[in-house]
Amino acid sequence: MNISDTEKLSELELLNFFLNLLKENAHVGVINILCLNNYTLFSIEKNVRTEQGTIKFDICFKKDNAAFYGLELKGGRFDNDISQIEKYNNFERTQYLRNETLSHINQNNFSVHIIFNIQLNNTIDNYMENLIYSGFTFRNNKIIFECETELFKLINEAMETTDIENIQRIIHFDKETEDKDIANEICSEVDALLMNQCSFTIDEIVSRAYCSIPDMATVIGADVRSFGNKKVKKMLDLMGRVGYTKLMKWENRQWHPLKTIKLNDVKIARRNYLEYINNPFSNPENNQMSIDEFIE
In three-state secondary structure terms, 76 is coil
pLDDT digits (tens, 9 = 90+) for 125-160: 667 889 999 889 877 778 889 888 999 999 999 998
pLDDT digits (tens, 9 = 90+) for 235-245: 999 999 999 99
Question: Do 87 and 229 belong to one domain?
Answer: no
Please give the model's pTM, rounded to 2 decimal places. 0.86
Question: Do 51 and 155 belong to one domain?
Answer: yes
Identify whether 1 is part of a domain: no
**CA count, 13 A, side-chain hemisphere, 244:** 27
Q: How far apart are the first and last CA of the chain?
A: 32
Question: Do 155 and 189 belong to one domain?
Answer: no
Question: Do 21 and 161 belong to one domain?
Answer: yes
Q: How confident is the model at residue 289 (pLDDT cuts 50, 70, 90)?
A: very low
Boundary-marking domain end, from 123, 142, 166: 166
* Nearest residue to 185 (alpha-carbon basis) of 279, 283, 274: 274
Residue 167 has a CB neighbour count (10 Å cut-off) of: 22
Q: Say what the pLDDT of residue 85 is.
A: 85
pLDDT above 60: residue 4:
no
Compute the distance between CA of residue 258 and CA of residue 242 in angstroms, rounded to an integer.
15
In three-state secondary structure terms, 54 is strand
Would strands 59-63 and 39-44 be described as parallel, antiparallel, or unpaired?
Answer: antiparallel
Question: Do 152 and 272 belong to one domain?
Answer: no
For the chain, the domain total comes to: 2
Question: Do 67 and 22 belong to one domain?
Answer: yes
* Nearest residue to 176 (alpha-carbon basis) of 238, 231, 112: 231
Question: Do 83 and 153 belong to one domain?
Answer: yes
- In terms of C-beta density within 10 A (0-12 exposed, 13-18 middle, 19 or more buried), how is residue 51 classed? exposed
Identify whether 127 is part of a domain: yes
Question: Do 118 and 196 belong to one domain?
Answer: no
Provide the domain limits for residue 56: 11-166
Identify whether 4 is part of a domain: no
